[in-house]
Amino acid sequence: MTKLNLFAVIASLFFMISLVQAGSGNIKNDLSEVAANFEAHGLTKLCLANISNDATVRFKVHAVADAAVAYIRKTANPKLSDEQVVDVVNIALLNSIVYERGIDKRCANVTDGLIGQKRAPAPEATDIATVGRLSLQIGTTLECLVRKPTPIFPQLVQGLRNGLQGIVTDDDPSKTSMAIFATHLTTLSESYIKLVRNCF
């Protein structure tokens, strides 16, 4: 299957699942789900980066990233409510996790937080590892921020909103979808870290 065909299949299923996936209506619960999904996404990405000497694995991981960017660009707009912003992020993450876990059975259910330290990724997969580390860091930080005694939900959602709009407007033709994610996940991670006080 060519990358274009694989992208088309994954992208179409992203949109189908988005029609039935909805948040709980409780912003704290939904942000907790975002945090858990970022962590799962990061662990899966790091696992795949560790077996990235396989070109087929890299090909499939990049196809999933392409579909996720396409989904975000199709659905994210500045007029989304806070709940809709969280839904878009969760759908993009959940779909990516499902497809990436299916790429190789060794990464089907990763729970080891040290997975990315076991072996350096192939040079061709450093971008995959970078996105994995960023996703894991965002998930860990967000999980802490959601649990704070005085929650700051508006700032947390605004960070997600800014990240989505950054992806939508990033029109650098030299960037792959993975590079686009790396750029805007870095910004999101930094914005969340600035909100941390006594989480760690």
Residue range 122-177, pLDDT digits in tens = 788 899 999 999 999 999 999 999 988 777 899 999 999 999 999 999 999 999 99
- The answer to whether 71 touches 180, Cβ cutoff 8 Å, is no
80 or 19, which is more confident?
80
Q: Domain for residue 198, yes or no?
A: no
Q: Please give the pLDDT value at position 181.
A: 98
* Structural domain includes residue 162: yes
What is the mean predicted confidence (pLDDT) over 49-70? 89
Q: Quick check: is 189 in a domain?
A: yes
Q: Give pLDDT, residue 124.
A: 86
Looking at residues 61-70, what average pLDDT do you find?
95
Residue 199 lies in a domain: no
User: Is 61 a member of any domain?
Assistant: yes
Are the beta carbons of 42 and 132 closer than 8 angstroms? yes
Asked if the model's pLDDT at residue 118 lies above 80, the reply is no
Q: Which domain holds residue 46?
A: 3-193
Instruction: Work out how many domains the chain is built from and give that number.
Output: 1
Residue 138 domain-assigned (yes or no): yes
Q: How many CB atoms lie within 10 A of CB 105?
A: 8
Please name which of 83, 102, 110 lies closest in space to residue 25, comparing C-alpha atoms: 83
Section 37-50 average pLDDT: 94
Please give the pLDDT value at position 20: 45
Answer whether residue 139 is part of any domain: yes
- Of residues 90 and 109, the one with the higher pLDDT is 90
> pLDDT-derived band of residue 7, with 50, 70 and 90 as boundaries?
very low
Residue 87, in any domain of the structure: yes
